[in-house]
Amino acid sequence: MHAFRQAVEARDHAAIEGLLAEDVVFTSPVAFRPYPGKAITAAILRAVMRVFSDFEYVREINDVAGTDHALMFTATVGGKSINGCDFLHVNADGLIDDFMVMVRPLSAATALSEAMGAQFDQIRLEATDPTVRLF
C-alpha cells in the first residue's frame, strides 16, 4: 500500500504534507490551472478532507518502477456520490511531485466544485500562514 494512501486513511495531515515535494504540482478536477507548490497542495488536500464524507480508497494500481500510482476512491460531497482517482508520481526522493485528481459523475464534480469554492478563502489563508489551519 502506498504511504500516501495510509496517511489519508489515517487522516494524518502531517504525514500527507511530509510526502509532498516542495515543487509538487496539483491538478484539480474542477480548476482550469494546476496549483504549483507544497503549501497550496497541502491546504487543498486538507480542504478536500473537510468536504468529503464517507471517503474510501477502493483500489490501488502501481507501476513496476514504483513511480506512478493510481488510487481509486469513493466519497460523498454535497449529498452526491462521487468516484475518483488520485494519480500520483513520485520523484527520485520518493516524494509526490505530480498529483492529478479526476472525478465523476458530472453532478458530483459540480458539487465538489461548489464545496471547494466555499473553502477557497480558507485554503489561501492556510497556504500562506501555516499557523492557521482547520482540520
List the CATH number of the domain containing 17: 3.10.450.50
- Residue 132 falls within a domain, yes or no? no
Give backbone dihedrals phi and psi of 91, rounded to 5 degrees, phi first.
-85, -175
Asked if the structure places residue 96 within a domain, the reply is: yes
100 beta partners? 27, 87
Tell me whether residue 15 is in a domain. Answer: yes
User: Is 133 among the domain residues?
Assistant: no
* 63 pLDDT tier (thresholds 50, 70, 90): very high
DSSP state of 29: S
Q: What percent of the chain has pLDDT over 70?
A: 95
Residues contacting residue 110 through CB under 8 Å, at least 6 positions apart: none
Say if 54 falls within a structural domain: yes
Domain extent, residue 44, equals 3-126
List of residues 6+ apart from 68 with CB closer than 8 A: 62, 87, 88, 89, 90
Under the banding of pLDDT at 50, 70 and 90, the label for residue 31 is confident
Quote the CA–CA distance of 99 and 28 in Å, as a whole number: 9
Task: Examine the pLDDT at 130 and tell me if it is beyond 80.
Answer: no
- Is residue 75 a part of any domain in this protein? yes
pLDDT value at position 95?
97
Q: Over 80: is that where the pLDDT of 1 sits?
A: no
∠ CA 5-82-9, rounded to 5°? 20
Task: Report yes or no: 54 and 63 within 8 Å, Cβ to Cβ.
Answer: no
- pLDDT of 132 reads 63
Report whether 76 contacts 82 (CB < 8 A): yes
Read off the pLDDT band of 129 (50, 70, 90).
confident
Q: What is the pTM of this model?
A: 0.92
- Please tell me the predicted confidence (pLDDT) of residue 134: 53
Domain count for the chain, please give it: 1
Please state the rounded mean pLDDT for residues 101-116: 96
